Amino acid sequence: MSALVYLVSRKLKNRVKEILHRPTELIVLLVVLAFAVFVIWTGNMSRESEALRDFGELEAILLGVYTVVFVLIAKNGFVNGAAMFSMPDVNLLFDAPFQPKTMLSYGLFSQMGHALSLGIVLVYQYSWLRSAYDVTLLKLLVIVIGYAMTVFLAQMIAMLIYSLTSGSDKKCRIAKGIFYGLLLIFVAFFAKDVLTTEGEMLPRVVAAANKPLMHFLPVAGFLRFGVAGALSQHWSAAFIALGCFVVCVAVYYVLVSLLRIDFYEDVLKAAEISFSAITARKEGKAQELAPRNVKVGKTGITHGEGAAVIGVKHSIENRRSRFLLFDLMSLIFAAATIIFALIIKDAVGAFAFSVYMMVMSVGSGRWAKELTLPYVYLIPEPSFKKLLYTIKEQLPALAAQSVLNFVLLPFLIDCDWLTCIAMMTARFSFGLLFIGVNLLLSRLLGGNGNNKAIIVMVYFLFCLLASIPAIAAGVAVHFIYLGFASIAYSFFAIFAVNTLLALLLLFLCRNILETSQNNNR
């Protein structure tokens, strides 16, 4: 048996054994699978009752998703290369007598395997995809394969970019110009089509995304063309896309041979970065999402004493991380909310979507990073005071992101300004509530939770439970004043209840910096 086949099969076998020997991991896996089955079952149940939406919308969504995935991965080629190998791969396999091409195939296919395993996320979209676009399980599998192929080619291109440009700023600038210039051309054509046609916004966006020109968008364009072809049984389109995929891979291998690209060095940096990120995660440290070149600017803390200096420090750190009120993720979430609102044309649905997207992002603020270092526990100041100054930095960002998520809705869908403002306040209050839930979980588990998946599940459950009072209040207000008041009053009720509950949680967790376990192992 080839050593690489042995390695892959052993890793898989040991992973399965590990899951079977760890009850918590097994429970998580079973819950994940049960939830997937539930989503598939409910998807099949709800299908009969609803009218199907325009299939073109799904084609446009696929183009958007594949393009975002492709750009986010491929652009790493300008910084680190492709993260397709782990540190043990680099240390053990690169020194072993394997052909570089064999290693390259191993890396690319391993990465494709990861992409397919991440495709489970797409399974959770089955219910609405089924009811809206009649996407069967087989069709969903085609979408997931398209996604995995996008990841595969994006990794390959990231590595090629890095191989050809690393070590030369000029080459890097030229490559960046070509990469983003090409992207910009397609965005410009798309924007022109949307802005110069008339009618409702959604059909204009869909029509622009599905123009034949978009099939030529590198990777994402032809893969979307192929997947959409397979979904609508236009097999010629699927075969053309498959052909393009094979040609891309073949061209890449030829380039690696002709240019004698020594990719070992090119993947090293990405492997080291990924290894240090994994190590930091294992040690319980939150990674700083910092730009590559940090502009230090004015130095010195200059003001603040005692607990207050924590807040001053956060503002300095945010300035250098170029995080003023928005990060890339919050912008993507806001864009997704607006697109979702356009598709469903319902303010309440858009609100629910926006809050759902916020559940995970709230726990990644600077305040959460602060709790992973010892200083906040060691500083001789009252625990509650330190806690307040630690979470203070999150509030302006929460407010600004709430505004950004909904400010365009009155222009795009049937949503009056009062409702829009009420939605902003209600979303802000959910942000406060989820911070409170994070703290409560930290207080209850106190660093004892070793299984991150279990913690995430418990966190989701707690968020769900904590949301019930506000949602109940919103529903109650809606029914009591049915016909007399706008839905806006329900959102104001949600804001009031959430804020009170968040303050209660904060008060209950006031001693968290005395009792929490900073188990930074």
Partner 1 sequence: MLQVNHVTKKYGKLTAVEDVGFQIDNGEIAVLLGPNGAGKSTIIKCISGLLRFDGEILIDGHANKSLDAKRALGYVPEMPAVYDMLTVGEHLEFIVRAYRMQDDGTAERLLERFELLDKKDKLGKELSKGMQQKLSICCALVHRPSVVIFDEPMVGLDPHAIKQLKEVFMELRANGATVLISTHMIDSVENYWDKAYIMQAGKFVAERAASDVSEESLESLFFRLTESGEKA
Least distance between partner 1 and beta carbon 451 (Å): 12
Task: Choose which of 36, 90, 118, 316 interacts with partner 1 (CB under 8 A).
Answer: 316
Question: 447 vs 469, which CB is nearer to partner 1?
Answer: 447
Asked if 506 contacts 438 with a C-beta cutoff of 8 angstroms, the reply is: no
Residue span binding partner 1 (CB under 8 A) among the ranges 2-10, 244-252, 310-318, 437-445: 310-318
Contact between 50 and partner 1 per CB under 8 A: no
Contact between 519 and partner 1 per CB under 8 A: yes
Residue span binding partner 1 (CB under 8 A) among the ranges 92-100, 128-136, 178-186, 316-324: 316-324
Question: 375 vs 460, which CB is nearer to partner 1?
Answer: 375
Task: Choose which of 320, 345, 443, 510 interacts with partner 1 (CB under 8 A).
Answer: 320
Least distance between partner 1 and beta carbon 287 (Å): 9
Asked if 150 contacts 219 with a C-beta cutoff of 8 angstroms, the reply is: yes
Question: 224 vs 366, which CB is nearer to partner 1?
Answer: 366
Tokens of 162: 């890095």
Window 248-307: residues binding partner 1 (CB under 8 A)? 283, 285, 288, 290, 294, 296, 299-301, 304-307
Window 476-515: residues binding partner 1 (CB under 8 A)? 514-515
Contact between 310 and partner 1 per CB under 8 A: yes
Least distance between partner 1 and beta carbon 508 (Å): 17
Contact between 139 and partner 1 per CB under 8 A: no
Q: Which amino acid is at 234?
A: H
Least distance between partner 1 and beta carbon 373 (Å): 5
Asked if 162 contacts 266 with a C-beta cutoff of 8 angstroms, the reply is: yes
Asked if 420 contacts 351 with a C-beta cutoff of 8 angstroms, the reply is: no
Least distance between partner 1 and beta carbon 338 (Å): 31
Least distance between partner 1 and beta carbon 320 (Å): 4
Window 351-390: residues binding partner 1 (CB under 8 A)? 373-375, 377-382
Q: Can you tell me the distance from the alpha carbon of 362 to that of 434, in angstroms, rounded to the nearest whole number?
A: 7
Q: Can you tell me the distance from the alpha carbon of 292 to that of 9, in angstroms, rounded to the nearest whole number?
A: 37
Four-CA torsion 468, 474, 480, 482, nearest 10 degrees = -130
Asked if 63 contacts 218 with a C-beta cutoff of 8 angstroms, the reply is: no
CA 400 to chain centre: 19
Interface mask (CB under 8 A) for partner 1, residues 173-192, using x and -? Answer: --------------------
Question: 50 vs 283, which CB is nearer to partner 1?
Answer: 283
Least distance between partner 1 and beta carbon 396 (Å): 18
DSSP for 387-423, written as a single string:
HHHHHTTHHHHHHHHHHHHHTTHHHHSS--HHHHHHH
Asked if 473 contacts 400 with a C-beta cutoff of 8 angstroms, the reply is: no
Question: 56 vs 382, which CB is nearer to partner 1?
Answer: 382
Q: Which residues make Cβ contacts (< 8 Å) with residue 512, sequence separation at least 6?
A: 383, 387, 439, 442, 443
Task: Choose which of 29, 309, 445, 496 interacts with partner 1 (CB under 8 A).
Answer: 309
Gyration radius of the chain over CA positions: 25
State the number of CA atoms in the 13 A half-sphere of 365 facing the CB. Answer: 26
State the number of CA atoms in the 13 A half-sphere of 150 facing the CB. Answer: 30
Question: 36 vs 280, which CB is nearer to partner 1?
Answer: 280
Q: How many CB atoms lie within 10 A of CB 183?
A: 18
Question: 255 vs 373, which CB is nearer to partner 1?
Answer: 373
Window 428-467: residues binding partner 1 (CB under 8 A)? 446-448
For partner 1, how many residues bind (rule: CB under 8 A)? 39
Question: 169 vs 305, which CB is nearer to partner 1?
Answer: 305
Least distance between partner 1 and beta carbon 268 (Å): 18
Question: 95 vs 305, which CB is nearer to partner 1?
Answer: 305
Residue span binding partner 1 (CB under 8 A) among the ranges 41-49, 312-320, 411-419, 433-441: 312-320
Asked if 148 contacts 115 with a C-beta cutoff of 8 angstroms, the reply is: yes
Task: Choose which of 130, 139, 215, 313 interacts with partner 1 (CB under 8 A).
Answer: 313
Least distance between partner 1 and beta carbon 369 (Å): 9
Contact between 520 and partner 1 per CB under 8 A: yes
Question: 260 vs 282, which CB is nearer to partner 1?
Answer: 282
Nearest to 474 by CA among 458, 491, 452, 457: 491
Q: What is the DSSP letter of 54?
A: P
Q: How many CB atoms lie within 10 A of CB 151?
A: 22
Distances from the Cα of 132 to the Cα of 50, 57, 203, 227, 319, angstroms: 8, 10, 16, 17, 43
Question: 110 vs 442, which CB is nearer to partner 1?
Answer: 442
Nearest to 156 by CA among 248, 247, 80, 240: 248
Q: Give the sign of the dihedral formed by CA 442, CA 448, CA 450, CA 456.
A: negative
Residues forming contacts to partner 1 in the complex (CB under 8 A) are 283, 285, 288, 290, 294, 296, 299-301, 304-307, 309-310, 313, 316-317, 320-321, 373-375, 377-382, 446-448, 514-515, 517-521
